[in-house]
Copies of this chain bind each other. A is one copy, B any other.
Amino acid sequence: MVQYRELDRTLTALADPTRRAVVERLGRDGVATVSELAAPAGISLTGMKKHLRVLEEAGLVASEKVGRSRQCRLGPNRGDALASWINDYRTMVEQRYDRLDALLARRKGEQDGH
Contacts and interface: CB of A to CB of B under 8 A. Distances in A.
A: contact size bracket = 20 to 34
Interface in A1-23: 4, 7-8, 11-12, 14-17, 20, 23
A66 interface: no
A27 B89 contact: yes
A28 B11 CA distance: 22
A8 B4 contact: no
B89 A86 contact: no
A74 interface: yes
Interface of A: 4, 7-8, 11-12, 14-17, 20, 23-24, 27-28, 30, 74, 78-80, 82-83, 85-87, 89-90, 92-93, 96
